[in-house]
Amino acid sequence: MTETLLEIKNLRCEREERVLFDQLCFSVDAGQVLQIEGPNGSGKTTLLRIISGLSSAYEGDIYWRGQPIRKVRTDFYHDLHYLGHLPGVKAALTPRENLRWSCALEAEDSDAQIEEALDKVDLYGFEDLPCFTLSAGQQRRVAIARLYLTATPFWILDEPFTAIDLRGVAELEAMLAERAERGGTVILTTHHQLDMPGRLKKVNLGGEAQ
Do the strands 59-64 and 67-68 form a parallel or antiparallel pair, or are they unpaired? antiparallel
Residue (of 165, 167, 189, 185) closest to 177 by Cα position = 185
Is the CB of residue 34 less than 8 Å from the CB of residue 155?
no
pLDDT in the model for residue 209 = 46
Low-confidence ranges of the chain (pLDDT < 70): 1, 107-109, 206-210
Cα(207)–Cα(169) distance, rounded to whole angstroms?
27
How confident is the model at residue 210, as a pLDDT? 46
Distances (CA, A) of 109 to 35, 96, 97, 118, 142: 32, 13, 13, 15, 18
Domains, the chain, ordered by start:
4-204 (3.40.50.300)
Give the per-residue pLDDT at 77. Answer: 94
Q: What is the pLDDT of residue 206?
A: 66
pTM for the model stands at 0.90
Residue closest to 59 by CA, chosen among 36, 25, 16:
25
Strands 59-64 and 200-204, by their bridges, are unpaired
